[in-house]
Amino acid sequence: MNVFNENITFCHPWRSYQARILADLDDHLKNRHLHLVAPPGSGKTVLGLEVMLRLDEPTLIIAPTLAIRNQWIERFVESFLQESQQPDWISTDLRNPAAMTVTTYQSLHSVLKGEHLETFFAAFDAVNFKTIILDEAHHLRTSWWQSAMTIRDRLSEPNIVALTATPPYDAGQREWNNYIQLCGPIDEEIYVPELIREGDLCPHQDYVYASIPSPEEAGIIAQFHRSVDTFVERLLSNQEFLEMLEGHPWIRTPEEYMDELLGNPAYYSSLLLFLRNAGSESWKDGLEIIGADEKNIPEFSLGWLEELLNGVLYKDPFYEVDHPVLRPMRLELSRMNAIERRTVTLRSSHEIQQTLVKSVTKLNSIEEIVSFETEQQGTSLRQVILTDYIHKEALPTSADDEKPLVRLGVAPIFERLRRSPRTDSRLGVLTGSLIIIPATAWATLTELAMNSGVELSSVPLVQDDGYVSVEVGSNRQQVTSLMTEVFSRGEIQVLIGTAALLGEGWDAPAINSLIIASTVGSYMLSNQMRGRAIRTQAGNPNKTAAIWHLVCIQPVMEGGGPDQIALERRFQSLIGLDAELPRISSGIDRLHLARSLESGSIAEQQNQKTFKRAVDRTSLQKRWQQAIGNAERGERKEELVAERKRIPKPFVYAATVKSLVIVGVAVFFEAAREIMGPVPFNISKERLMIALLVGIVLASPYLWKSGKAMIRHRSLERSMIQAATAVYETLFHAGLLSIPLKENRI
């Protein structure tokens, strides 16, 4: 008996990757799992619906939000049923399930943690679900994962279809194992370049706009660094602390603790470096134990001091928590705000990190970008600004109440742009609790609302009657799609919203410019937010998109400060087009930014260079296709060599090479002694040559290995390259990679 009518079919042609996966569907489902990774906008939803139809079994679809849940139903009704009304065999109520039931992870979790489970399971079991579709599966962590596992185990060998754009690669091993246990191994991973080549995603480019802290913010940072400098100066002259470290068992008798100290080489190295920098002589014996060379010892730094203090204060079993030397040190660090969650941070602090990440100077950056994009695109601009907080208190309460804007959030961004004489674009706000539209867009929104059965009312803003605040009376979950339509028509040109509502799963193909003003630096959310802008738009084949990243750089801090470090970490996983060369790569180096911004004027010069690049959108599509062609031909372009940063932890590897050399030399002399006998001075030249040759032959394997090791592992980076090469070659010979390493590069 068929669950779904056999006449239900997808009304559009399949994209190439979709057709490929559907052709291999039986092979993928041999283990009853289909785990697909593909970028936002690539059509995972309709692919999941087609898999549901081909399996032809009662299906439970689980999505992360109500908006995404509704999109599943809308896609099915529009693109498969081609009707205007939702049939009664589609349910969104878990307690009244149907053959196709669409819900959210939170709803499932709430039901399983609530009461009347017997009644729920009676209705649930009666449907006899055989397929579970997990949308945006990267959300399956901890409680939601447990609820999904409970439902999976309730069913008899169900098919699991897991769809995501961003697997939790940055999760811990335990969370990753749980994720794979539920979703199965990844069957197919579709990359952005393939979809751009096929015209399924639009050409796009990332841009970075930099600012430096305001005078008030710079003062907070400077005060912290002055406190750290004073603390370090006192610590280096603290005789009690120095004697405590000199008496450490790893320093006094390191040969008795070889396993322990080699198991924690970074901490042991920090002990030696501090003693050396404080003028103690006791570090030299430890250096000899690990076989390090004094010439290659890294300089003592705040990073090494953090390693040392985290060890002695929280991890070292030889020191009590209330040690009389350590207790006042811990209190002083706490007063400095240099301890966060039992971790010492001397190069920055949580307060500094929040100061830079949420810097008020980013409001100026946003104003500059919006002004630039408005000038370039005019009425065709469809820009979205995503941030984390609303800060509704920033809105004026009267016509002459222009509150100072001191925070980064939806309301402050709206006010900054509304007040700016440089931005005359039509602004809009869309969050769960605050909706603002131009007064000129009210007629369009009310017409759409009436057709959808949504009740709306409006109140003019007290500070500007050109805008109205919208109140929703019913069907609140439909408002996002209504606002999206108003935005797509151009009644709103710049839409400001929260990443929580719009940063994932929101479908607005009209977006051609995105400003990421979110403070979240994770791979998953960053990639999800970028995905809002790179979708293609029907009737606009020449669409391109600009994705703007904001950063507040503190020039005096290592690596430009925590905001710059977080930005670089975000870019490590973002694949995109090089700003100058026709190639595709990940990492922030592809944007060719200045390596060091020592002043605000240099930051401004970089921003102007970025604007100059962003002007040329017409060649973006051509450059993408050229880069894709180069990649497919396996052409090796000259690789940009970034400034090599020495990785200082640990410096223990030399002991391995030294041991191989010692063994080789010992074998050589032992072999020579056996041949020459106990009195070698009277032997003939022939016997001496034979002894030397035999010794060299027997010792050569050890000397050869040590020589190769020294060449291949001159640094930790070289060791990583060797490991990566071995992994790549293994995957290639196993048939999991199709391009040989000689045609590629790591």
Kindly report the number of other CB atoms within 10 A of residue 613's CB atom: 16
Residue 4 maps to a domain: no
Interatomic CA distance for residues 442 and 471, integer angstroms: 12
- The mean pLDDT of the chain is 85
**Looking at the structure, do residues 252 and 308 belong to the same domain, yes or no?**
yes
Alpha helix (H) ranges present in 43-199?
44-55, 66-76, 105-113, 117-127, 142-154, 173-183, 192-197
**Looking at the structure, do residues 321 and 403 belong to the same domain, yes or no?**
no
pLDDT at 637: 39
Q: Are 518 and 386 in contact (CB under 8 A)?
A: yes
Mean pLDDT (whole number) for 345-354 = 84
pLDDT at 649: 46
Residue 658 maps to a domain: yes
pLDDT at 293: 65
**Looking at the structure, do residues 339 and 367 belong to the same domain, yes or no?**
no
pLDDT class of 740 with cuts at 50, 70, 90: confident
Residue 83 maps to a domain: yes
Of 519, 557, 520, 566, residue with least CA distance to 357: 519
Q: What is the pLDDT of residues 538-584, one digit of tens each?
A: 899 899 999 999 999 887 676 778 888 888 888 887 889 999 888 89
Structural domain of residue 516, as residue ranges? 361-425+493-575
Interatomic CA distance for residues 468 and 466, integer angstroms: 7
Q: What is the pLDDT of residues 239-263, one digit of tens each?
A: 999 999 999 999 988 888 888 887 8
Q: Does the pLDDT of residue 650 top 80, yes or no?
A: no
Which of 522, 543, 575 is the C-terminal boundary of a domain? 575
pLDDT at 414: 96
Q: Total structural domains in the chain? A: 4
Mean pLDDT (whole number) for 426-453 = 94
**Looking at the structure, do residues 679 and 541 belong to the same domain, yes or no?**
no
Q: What is the pLDDT of residues 671-685, one digit of tens each?
A: 656 665 655 555 566
Kindly report the number of other CB atoms within 10 A of residue 64's CB atom: 20
pLDDT at 668: 58
**Looking at the structure, do residues 320 and 402 belong to the same domain, yes or no?**
no
Interatomic CA distance for residues 460 and 268, integer angstroms: 66
Cis peptide before 650 (omega within 30 of 0): yes
Q: DSSP letters of 72-107?
A: HHHHHIIIII--SS--TTEE--TTS--SEEEEEHHH
pLDDT at 6: 85
Residue 198 maps to a domain: no
pLDDT at 562: 82
Pairing mode, strands 90-91 and 100-104 = parallel
- Region of 204 (left: φ > 0; alpha: ψ -120 to 50; beta: rest) is beta
**Looking at the structure, do residues 169 and 237 belong to the same domain, yes or no?**
no
Which of 356, 380, 408 is the C-terminal boundary of a domain? 356
Interatomic CA distance for residues 465 and 418, integer angstroms: 12
Q: DSSP letters of 511-562?
A: --EEEE------HHHHHHHHTTTSB-BTTBTT--EEEEEEEE--TTSGGG-H
pLDDT at 403: 86
Q: Does the pLDDT of residue 299 top 70, yes or no?
A: yes
pLDDT at 174: 84
pLDDT at 646: 42
Residue 47 maps to a domain: yes
Residues 164-167: contacts with CB under 8 Å, at least 24 apart: 164/36, 164/37, 164/136, 164/137, 164/138, 165/37, 165/38, 165/39, 165/40, 165/42, 165/44, 165/136, 165/527, 165/528, 165/531, 166/138, 166/523, 166/524, 166/525, 166/527, 166/528, 167/37, 167/137, 167/138
pLDDT class of 121 with cuts at 50, 70, 90: very high
pLDDT class of 648 with cuts at 50, 70, 90: very low
**Looking at the structure, do residues 325 and 415 belong to the same domain, yes or no?**
no
pLDDT at 27: 92
pLDDT at 310: 94
**Looking at the structure, do residues 170 and 239 belong to the same domain, yes or no?**
no
Specify which residues 738 forms β-bridges with: none
Considering only residues 33 and 661, tell me which one the structure prediction assigns the higher pLDDT: 33
Burial 566-595 (b: 16+ CB within 10 A, else e): bbbebbebbebbbbebbbbbeebbbbebee
3-state percent breakdown (helix, strand, coil) of the chain, nearest 5: 50, 10, 35
Which of 313, 340, 356 is the C-terminal boundary of a domain? 356
pLDDT at 284: 78
Burial class (CB in 10 A: 0-12, 13-18, 19+), 745: exposed
Terminal Cα-to-Cα distance of the chain (whole angstroms) = 52
DSSP state of 140: -
**Looking at the structure, do residues 338 and 228 belong to the same domain, yes or no?**
yes
DSSP state of 60: E
pLDDT class of 647 with cuts at 50, 70, 90: very low
**Looking at the structure, do residues 289 and 400 belong to the same domain, yes or no?**
no
Mean pLDDT (whole number) for 106-122 = 91
Interatomic CA distance for residues 258 and 250, integer angstroms: 8
Q: Are 456 and 449 in contact (CB under 8 A)?
A: yes
pLDDT at 663: 56
Residue 476 maps to a domain: no
Provide the whole-model pTM: 0.75
Specify which residues 206 forms β-bridges with: 547
**Looking at the structure, do residues 245 and 337 belong to the same domain, yes or no?**
yes
CA angle 685, 690, 696 (to 5 degrees): 125
Q: Are 512 and 545 in contact (CB under 8 A)?
A: yes
DSSP state of 137: G
Mean pLDDT (whole number) for 655-675 = 57
Considering only residues 231 and 634, tell me which one the structure prediction assigns the higher pLDDT: 231
Residue 601 maps to a domain: no
The CATH number of whichever domain residue 90 belongs to comes to 3.40.50.300
Residue 479 maps to a domain: no
**Looking at the structure, do residues 549 and 688 belong to the same domain, yes or no?**
no
Residue type, 152: R
Interatomic CA distance for residues 59 and 103, integer angstroms: 11
pLDDT at 739: 81
pLDDT at 138: 83
